[in-house]
């Protein structure tokens, strides 16, 4: 399998964290897909008609995208895995947590593009503020849920949240998301000791 990715992409990172947790990272070759929304990389365009990262190129079928689909596919390769429950409330809570983490990333990424790719005079502060309000809303929900949501397990959902927090630290180092969310900060500190998280830090 080949994962079209970029080291700075939180969504591509999530796929690699999941692959490492499942013990199948050595079956995945990483292919560079670095680019921007206005100039996507060639590998990205070739394997996803939306020209977005990541995509997973398989030998026995068409390429898969986006990260949520890829992660579910990866779990399907490992019988008895614990990253995604097969059924019941545990499955839905895991997928909902993943959607929350991905949603935080979505908003943080589009703000990054707004600020990095557009001239200052063309930037919309109202748009930036609205997207960062979504980031804060997601973080506040995680803090409020506490151990009832984050717990001690590590699922697709937890991987998505870890990637969201890592992306905030990477792209918004001056934004103090920890100050009013001590529980979430403690959880993230613990998660950062996992090999899969340490070895995939964005760069």
Q: What is the pLDDT of residues 41-53, one digit of tens each?
A: 999 999 999 999 9
Residues 6+ apart with CB under 8 A from 60: none
- As a whole number, mean pLDDT of residues 152-157 equals 94
Handedness of CA 27, 91, 14, 53 (dihedral sign): positive
Instruction: Give the gyration radius of the chain's Cα atoms.
Output: 17
pTM of the model: 0.95
3-state secondary structure of 2: strand
Mean pLDDT is lowest, of 2-6, 134-138, 151-155, for: 151-155
Residues linked to residue 3 through DSSP beta bridges, in sequence order: 30, 56
Q: What is the pLDDT of residues 93-107, one digit of tens each?
A: 999 999 999 999 999
Domains of the chain: residue spans and CATH: 2-76 (3.40.30.10), 88-197 (1.20.1050.10)
Whole-number pLDDT of residue 173: 96
Distances (CA, A) of 64 to 48, 159, 161, 202: 8, 19, 22, 22
Q: What is the pLDDT of residues 48-102, one digit of tens each?
A: 999 999 999 999 999 999 999 999 999 999 999 999 999 999 999 999 999 999 9
Measured distance between the N- and C-terminal CA atoms of the chain, rounded to whole angstroms: 23
The answer, yes or no, to whether residue 148 has pLDDT greater than 90, is: no
Neighbouring C-beta atoms of residue 65, cutoff 10 Å: 20
The H helix count followed by the E strand count for the chain is 8, 3
């Amino acid at each position: 399998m080949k994962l079209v990715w970029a080291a700075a992409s939180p969504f591509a990172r999530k796929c690699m964290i999941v692959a490492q947790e499942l013990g199948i990272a050595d079956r995945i070759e990483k292919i560079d897909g670095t680019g921007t929304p206005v100039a996507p990389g060639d590998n990205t365009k070739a394997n996803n008609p939306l020209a977005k990262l990541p995509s997973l190129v398989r030998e026995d079928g068409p390429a898969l995208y986006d990260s949520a689909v890829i992660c579910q596919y990866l779990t399907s390769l490992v019988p008895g895995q614990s990253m995604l429950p097969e059924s019941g409330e545990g499955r839905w809570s895991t997928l909902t947590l993943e959607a929350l983490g991905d949603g935080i990333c979505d908003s943080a990424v589009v703000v990054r593009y707004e600020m990095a790719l557009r001239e200052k005079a063309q930037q919309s502060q109202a748009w930036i503020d609205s997207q960062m309000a979504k980031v804060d809303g997601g973080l506040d929900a995680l803090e409020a849920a506490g151990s009832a949501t984050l717990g001690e397990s590590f699922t697709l959902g937890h991987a998505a949240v870890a990637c969201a927090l890592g992306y905030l630290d990477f792209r918004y180092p001056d934004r103090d998301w920890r100050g009013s969310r001590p529980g979430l900060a403690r959880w993230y500190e613990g998660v950062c000791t996992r090999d899969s998280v340490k070895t995939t830090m964005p760069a």
